[in-house]
Chains A and B, each alone.
Chain A
Amino acid sequence: MGEIKQIKNLKEFSTSVERFQGGHRLCPGCSHSIIVREIVNATEDDLCISTATGCLEVCSTIYPFTSWDVSWIHIGFENAAAAISGTEAMHKALARKKKGYSDKPMKFIAFAGDGGTYDIGFQSLSGAVERGHDFMYVCLDNEGYMNTGGQRSSSTPVGGATTTSPAGRVSYGEKMQKKDMTAIMAAHRCQYVAQVAPSSWKDLVKKAQKAYQTPGATYINAMSPCPTEWKFDPSMSMEVSKVMVDSCVCPLYEIEYDPQTHNYKYTVNYEPKNKLPVKEYMALQGRFKHLFKPEFSHVIDQWQRDIDAQWDYIRRRQDAGV
């Protein structure tokens, strides 16, 4: 276990030696790289990273350039977790045989989008987590297949217009509920799962550090506002992120599983002083524009009820201590 890097404030954090370089080809204003920087700069331990096919992968390693200052591998869309589980197993084996390349602590991370997590990579993630490999899995959740032009995934929220769940004369867009991946990963008995948003940098860094320090597999659902496919101005990414948090569309919370007592401890890490209506969040994004037509207003009403219920549920779990 490595030392926890002291990051009391942004000034201190800004002295970090960058581990993810510019020159990558992510869209202007992309939240992915903000999240990635917050996570990889939150530790000084050595890192090995796998990344699933997707925006981050394709934009950070277009030959002949890599943006990664740490070891990194991409194999496929559905196997970021399996890939890093192999690297982590190799690390363990070589350490046991005293043939390791370094005695310093090494951390393992898998990054994947929601397509690579909620959909095609779900099995690989479930397997690697169940096997207890010591790694942090970070889902960069932008609620669709944004690398290929914004198709729906099982993370796309109800009413969201995507290129495969478009809004039309008779449709308000996506019909299916977003999968509750964080709860699913908690049910795997990960000792630590959390949801984060890039605008809440301190919360994110703290959670990343907690995940680094937790033995076994940990899961971070990082909501990642996507200017290109959520359809807002690139300069607005952090604004959208903030409203997403303040409307409780993205509640900042964590679940700690205690393997001794089998208890799940929910903690809400941030309670908005002034909880914003979901309508404000939706109004910022073109993907929900059609919902503001009178015939689809029921979708927004349902959203508000769903978000309120989810927020209430998380807080009740917190209060009950289970």
Chain B
Amino acid sequence: MVATALFYIFAAIATAGAIMVVAQRNPVYSALYLVLTLFALAGEYVLLMAHFIAIVHVAVYAGAIVVLFLFVIMLLNVRLEERAPDAFRYMIYAGLPMAAILFVEMGYFAFRGFQQAMVQGTRVGLVESIGRALFSQYVLPFEVASILLLVAMIGALYLSKRKLEIVAFKRPRSKKERLKVMMYEEEH
């Protein structure tokens, strides 16, 4: 009974947080409500006996991804989302039915198919079993994932670098280059 109560509490928090993420006009509040949703989801993961994933989820999402979001929002100094001009205002009339249809579709099959199946006590989500799987059968995907992260890091660095900065660091050789550096410094 405790598990059922906890499920509904976490589900309510997650749903309310998700609604606020979509409804808030200030992106900073959206990010903070996203943290709330993610913490509630971590609670659901624990109820599903996925302890390792729950911990990693909190560390990766709340600790890294949302912080990155907040950094970018504050870097960009984004203003409040004002009322949308012209055609975009009617987007909600397309979005609401689509989301509703999607929900009914998925919810119907979930409700019809898995009514009797209960969450079972299993050791499959513990650190031990995941570690065994990750470092034996799935060691290649694991290594590929690390390469993917490296590539993403290099890509993010390259994209966020200003192109002209390289010129500024180099010692100017000709009059033309010196002029370019001076112009750059004036600009920034």
Q: Do A and B bind each other?
A: no
